[in-house]
Structure 1
């Protein structure tokens, strides 16, 4: 896998995804290899390596991103009664592109 699955595969169209919500600058879609029964990924369409690399000039994009995460999370809570919103950093971040997971349920066995 590349360092940035989201730019290289999803945003390029190489890997098709099932969209949940899309704005001019943000995409939310069902994870291509879900770890939870409900697993939605929300990404900025512009490459930003991680939460820690955001700059002051990214504030408008961050607001749009968080607003999209909020809308997706609201839908998941309405349908399931709960959800988690997760982002990973450092060695926990497999793809070096800022993203949030909106998940519901217990982790599925990935053996």
Structure 2
């Protein structure tokens, strides 16, 4: 793991994060700059800069866990009406942390979250409460 990689530091517990779910292969935690309450990142534990650096099982596990999180976001008190699951792969696609990761973004009918220039406008939310709520449904 690279100490210059914030996600590697979160995986090794050298940096704090609200952890939501973990397997042998991936870690899911709340985005520190969420688009909406419950915005979760699913990251492989092994550092890979982008999708083509992943082993097939790592990519599959990221998506499997992403779908579990999506279901939890609908069932918990976040009560998402929909979910965006996305990957920004490479600088041109809006990737800002160069450790491959999957965004699971809860959406609500009429919400104001918009895609802009490949990025989502972010707003602060109560991270600990959102993390506990999602964990309760996994």
Q: TM-score interval w.r.t. the shorter chain?
A: 0.7 to 0.9
Which of 45, 68, 77 is equivalent to 1:71? 68
Q: Aligned match of 2:95 in 93, 103, 109?
A: 93
Q: Deviations over 1:19-66 (max 9, x none)?
A: 111111111111122232221010010111111333xxx112222221
Question: Any gaps of 5 or more consecutive residues in structure 2?
Answer: 108-112, 114-120, 125-138
SS at match of 1:95: coil
**Cα deviation code 1:86-110 (max 9, x no counterpart):** 1102211111111011112424457
Residue 71 of structure 1, CA deviation: 0.5
Question: Secondary structure of the equivalent of 1:29?
Answer: strand
Match of 1:104 in 2: 106
Distance 1:14 1:52 in 2: 26
| Contact 2:6–2:15 under 8 Å retained in 1 | no
Contact 1:3 1:96 in 2 (8 A): no
- How does the TM-score come out when normalised to structure 2? 0.66
1:5 and 2:6 matched? yes
Structure 1 residue runs of 4+, over 6 Å off? Answer: none
Residue 22 (structure 1) aligns with: 22
2:57 to 40, 57, 60: 60
Q: Where does the alignment leave 5 or more consecutive residues of structure 1 unmatched?
A: none
Q: TM-score, normalised by structure 1?
A: 0.80
Report if the CA contact (8 A) 2:39-2:104 is conserved. Answer: yes
| CA shift for structure 1 position 4 | 2.7
Mapped partners of 1:109, 1:60: distance in 2: 33
| Contact persistence 2:70–2:106 (CA under 8 A) | no
Q: Aligned to 1:32, what secondary structure does the other structure show?
A: coil
